[in-house]
């Protein structure tokens, strides 16, 4: 059953304002009105199919009858415009609505008034037409027009009711689909699968995520198009975090869908698509992050389509050796017990931290929280873990820990030891090699940007360039890395850990020497100048005040 069919008969919709015209706008219906009445009824029937059919019909009647036509709903429905009438006459209009009177025609206070019930449900909405009595009484032909107009007016009301109810059902379904995305993002796969099945959505064991951006066009229209082309192989919904983006969850072999997305992106300059690799449905969060990075690449490609290119995930590389470290790092948060029943528990705090680390200021929208509530939770997390979340190295450490929790590995190993393992060093070298482009300033800009908490204004001041200059360099870094850097979910954690893993002389030599002598703080772990992980990526310089996480975004630190 379609949303339109399910919408039913109850009347809801936007308010109708009484339509009023001045005398002489159009001639009144003449006494000999047979052919003219038929023509007028055909015109009214045509108006009934319009989106604003009720207003169009009332406006046309007002012009033809040289008066004011309005619709009054005694139930107080939003289509009602209450006529200003003496109580006695208003009671008679009520009687017309309830069916106790078939119709009403009176003269009062210098006005001619006619009231007729509109076809449809009871109590009936009432068509009320008024005009000044000194003009002339309503003729028989005009009364016939009013009586006949109640049929197309009733059809217009029903059409609007169906349309409004269908729109409400669409909004409810969209919110339910967003809830499925949230469950997938939070790792609650079994709950997400049950919710998806209840909605008639398909979630296979292996999925691909396609992320679409449709700037300059209706996102709702694009969502409908995506669901049409993905029918049977996937489903789409609006991204809760970025309202101009659409998330498509599809089967990995949905070749027709991929072909349609590529063709649309190639033909439409406002349409960009990023696609992840096929991953288990339990790893949806990774697939979404990969699709987001691919979308960043697609923005700079002529075809506006890109697939994620994997260079290995540090969490996967260190999972066997560092699972116990990750579990130990998050243990205080997992052991948290709320002091009051309505306070967030450990699971809610971990969900909050995970969402904030990935989406920053948009986490409140994804979690359905007020920004002040999000800020309060972040302060609680800081106190439980004994960290400062505005420190980017702390963010990188916690983000890595969330990705690789498990029982494996040495329970006493430190992050410093993990980052100095050969496989981690090799991963870091690959990440940093991508920065060795034609512009030698890029690597130095990235180190300075991270050292200043990923704040563009502070970075610009430290480099002696404009904020727009820093932003342009970081856009170039995005193109080299094929990863999002300026928008969350960002690759800044990978960059931070890559710089911690491997030394980098960087330009100029004097600055590199100065950086080598300055100790690096990695959360609660101090790395001295002799440590091979010293890369100059400190959380922030001593001259830069620590940014406070006192609001929902923690500030979107990548934006000035």
291-317 pLDDT, tens digit each: 999 999 999 899 999 999 887 888 888
Q: What count of other Cβ atoms lies within 10 Å of the Cβ of residue 462?
A: 18
Which of 267, 289, 310 is a domain's end point? 310
* Nearest partner of 135 among 66, 68, 61, judged by Cα: 66
Q: Is residue 174 in a domain?
A: no
Q: What count of other Cβ atoms lies within 10 Å of the Cβ of residue 246?
A: 23
Query: What residue has token string 């932003």?
Result: 471
Higher pLDDT, 22 or 166: 166
Same domain, 202 and 72: no
Question: What's the pLDDT band for 20 if we cut at 50, 70, 90?
Answer: very low
Q: Is residue 401 in a domain?
A: yes
Q: Is residue 170 in a domain?
A: no
Same domain, 471 and 323: yes
Q: What is the dihedral of CA 422, 424, 427, 431, to 10 degrees?
A: -130
Name every residue whose Cβ is closer than 8 Å to that of residue 82 and which is 6 or more positions away in sequence. 72
* Nearest partner of 546 among 555, 534, 535, judged by Cα: 555
Same domain, 213 and 266: yes
Among 40-49, 263-272, 398-407, which stretch is predicted with the lowest mean pLDDT? Answer: 40-49
Q: Is residue 179 in a domain?
A: no
259: left (phi over 0), alpha (psi -120 to 50) or beta: alpha
Return the pLDDT at 131.
Answer: 84
Among 52-66, 73-87, 410-424, which stretch is predicted with the lowest mean pLDDT? Answer: 73-87
Q: Is the pLDDT of residue 423 over 70?
A: yes
Return the pLDDT at 503.
Answer: 56
User: Domain range spanning residue 35?
Assistant: 3-164
Q: Is 409 helix (H, G, I), strand (E, B) or coil?
A: coil
Return the pLDDT at 136.
Answer: 74
Query: What residues are paired with 132 via a beta bridge?
Result: 111
Share above pLDDT 90 across residues of the chain, in percent, rounded to a whole number: 32
Q: Is residue 181 in a domain?
A: no
Q: Nearest 5°: CA angle at 379, between 377 and 380?
A: 65
Question: What's the pLDDT band for 81 if we cut at 50, 70, 90?
Answer: low
Longest dimension (CA), the chain: 105
Same domain, 256 and 331: no
Share above pLDDT 70 across residues of the chain, in percent, rounded to a whole number: 79
Q: What six digits make up the tokens of 244? A: 């101009």
Name the DSSP letter for residue 436. Answer: -
CA 340/CA 360 separation, integer angstroms:
27
Return the pLDDT at 76.
Answer: 58
Same domain, 105 and 244: no
CA 500/CA 522 separation, integer angstroms:
9
The CATH number that applies at residue 270 is: 3.30.70.270
Higher pLDDT, 80 or 321: 321
Higher pLDDT, 152 or 17: 152
Same domain, 208 and 293: yes
Whole-model pTM over 0.75: no
What phi and psi, each to the nearest 5 degrees, are found at residue 120? 130, -145
| Number of domains within the chain | 3
Q: Is residue 458 in a domain?
A: yes
Return the pLDDT at 307.
Answer: 93
What phi and psi, each to the nearest 5 degrees, are found at residue 270? -100, 10
Same domain, 20 and 48: yes
Q: How far is CA 512 from CA 123, 421, 426, 508, in A?
A: 82, 24, 22, 6
To the nearest whole number, what is the mean pLDDT of the chain? 79
CA 379/CA 373 separation, integer angstroms:
10
Return the pLDDT at 29.
Answer: 42
Same domain, 143 and 281: no
* Nearest partner of 388 among 376, 378, 401, 402, judged by Cα: 378
Question: What's the pLDDT band for 184 if we cut at 50, 70, 90?
Answer: very high
Name every residue whose Cβ is closer than 8 Å to that of residue 275 and which is 6 or more positions away in sequence. 208, 209, 210, 211, 258, 261, 291, 294, 305, 306, 307, 308
pLDDT digits over 123-144, tens only? 888 888 888 766 678 888 888 8
Return the pLDDT at 49.
Answer: 76
Among 86-90, 101-105, 344-348, 537-541, which stretch is predicted with the lowest mean pLDDT? Answer: 537-541
Return the pLDDT at 75.
Answer: 64
β-strands 305-307, 271-275 pairing? parallel
Q: Is residue 176 in a domain?
A: no
Q: In what order do the strands lie in the sheet with 126-132?
A: 19-20, 68-72, 126-132, 111-117, 104-108
Q: Is 129 helix (H, G, I), strand (E, B) or coil?
A: strand
Same domain, 248 and 216: yes
CA 260/CA 209 separation, integer angstroms:
15
Q: What six digits make up the tokens of 84? A: 């200003």
Burial class (CB in 10 A: 0-12, 13-18, 19+), 268: middle
The CATH number that applies at residue 32 is: 3.30.450
pLDDT digits over 473-521, tens only? 999 888 888 888 888 888 889 888 988 775 544 554 444 444 433 333 4
CA 80/CA 70 separation, integer angstroms:
8
Same domain, 191 and 106: no
Same domain, 285 and 384: no
Question: What's the pLDDT band for 193 if we cut at 50, 70, 90?
Answer: very high
Which of 264, 286, 310 is a domain's end point? 310
92: left (phi over 0), alpha (psi -120 to 50) or beta: alpha
Which of 164, 195, 210 is a domain's end point? 164
- Across residues 533-559, what is the average pLDDT? 40
Q: What six digits make up the tokens of 145? A: 């027009």
Cβ pair 536, 512 in contact under 8 A: yes
Same domain, 299 and 338: no
CA 560/CA 558 separation, integer angstroms:
7
Q: Is residue 171 in a domain?
A: no
Among 40-49, 107-116, 497-506, which stretch is predicted with the lowest mean pLDDT? Answer: 497-506
Return the pLDDT at 23.
Answer: 37
368: left (phi over 0), alpha (psi -120 to 50) or beta: left
* Nearest partner of 392 among 544, 185, 283, judged by Cα: 544
Top mean-pLDDT range of 135-144, 295-304, 528-537, 546-555: 295-304
């Amino acid at each position: 059953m379609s949303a339109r069919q399910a919408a039913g008969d109850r009347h809801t919709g936007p308010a109708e304002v009484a339509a009023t015209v001045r005398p002489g706008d159009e001639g009144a219906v003449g006494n000999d009105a047979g052919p003219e009445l038929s023509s007028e009824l055909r015109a009214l029937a045509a108006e009934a199919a319009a989106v604003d059919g009720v207003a169009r019909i009332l406006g046309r009647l007002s012009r033809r009858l040289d008066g004011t036509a309005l619709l009054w709903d005694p139930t107080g429905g939003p289509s009602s415009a209450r006529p200003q009438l003496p109580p006695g006459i208003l009671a008679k209009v009520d009687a017309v609505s309830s069916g106790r009177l078939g119709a009403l025609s009176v003269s009062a206070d210098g006005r001619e008034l006619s009231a007729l019930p509109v076809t449809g449900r009871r109590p009936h909405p009432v068509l009320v037409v008024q005009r000044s009595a000194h003009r002339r009484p309503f003729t028989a032909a005009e009364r016939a027009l009013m009586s006949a107009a109640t049929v197309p007016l009733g059809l217009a009301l029903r059409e609007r009711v169906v349309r409004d109810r269908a729109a409400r059902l669409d909004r409810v379904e969209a919110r339910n689909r967003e809830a499925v995305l949230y469950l997938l993002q939070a790792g609650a796969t079994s709950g997400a699968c049950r919710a998806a099945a209840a909605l008639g959505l398909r979630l296979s064991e292996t999925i691909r995520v396609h992320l679409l951006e449709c700037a300059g066009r209706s996102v709702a229209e694009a969502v409908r198009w995506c669901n049409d082309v993905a029918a049977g192989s996937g489903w789409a919904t609006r991204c809760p975090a970025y309202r101009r983006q659409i998330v498509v969850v599809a089967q990995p072999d949905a070749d027709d869908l991929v072909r349609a997305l590529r063709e649309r992106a190639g033909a439409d300059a406002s349409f960009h698509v990023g696609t992840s690799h096929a991953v288990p449905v339990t790893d949806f969060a990774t697939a979404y992050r990969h699709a987001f990075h691919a979308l960043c690449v697609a923005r700079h490609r002529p075809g506006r389509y890109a697939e994620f290119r994997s260079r290995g995930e540090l969490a996967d590389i260190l999972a066997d050796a560092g699972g116990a470290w990750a579990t130990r790092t998050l243990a205080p948060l997992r052991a948290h017990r709320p002091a009051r029943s309505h306070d967030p528990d450990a699971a809610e705090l971990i969900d909050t931290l995970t969402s904030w680390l990935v989406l920053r200021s948009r986490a409140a929208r994804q979690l359905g929280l007020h920004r002040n509530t999000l800020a309060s939770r972040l302060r609680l997390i800081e106190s439980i873990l004994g960290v400062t979340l505005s420190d980017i190295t702390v963010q990188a450490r916690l983000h890595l820990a969330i990705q690789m929790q498990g029982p494996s590995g040495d329970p006493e190993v430190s992050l410093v030891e993990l980052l100095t393992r050969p496989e981690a060093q090799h991963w870091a070298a690959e990440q940093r090699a991508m920065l060795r482009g034609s512009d030698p300033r890029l690597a130095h800009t990235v180190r300075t940007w991270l050292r200043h908490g990923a704040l563009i204004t502070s970075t610009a001041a430290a480099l002696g360039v404009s904020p727009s200059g820093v932003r342009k360099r970081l856009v170039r870094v995005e193109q080299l890395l094929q990863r999002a850097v300026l928008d969350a979910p960002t690759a800044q954690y990978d960059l931070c850990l890559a710089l911690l893993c491997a030394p980098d002389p960087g330009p100029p030599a004097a600055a590199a020497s100065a950086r080598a002598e300055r100790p690096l703080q990695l959360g609660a772990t101090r790395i001295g100048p002799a440590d091979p992980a010293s890369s100059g990526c400190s959380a922030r310089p001593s001259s830069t005040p620590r940014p406070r996480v006192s609001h929902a975004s923690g500030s979107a630190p990548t934006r000035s």
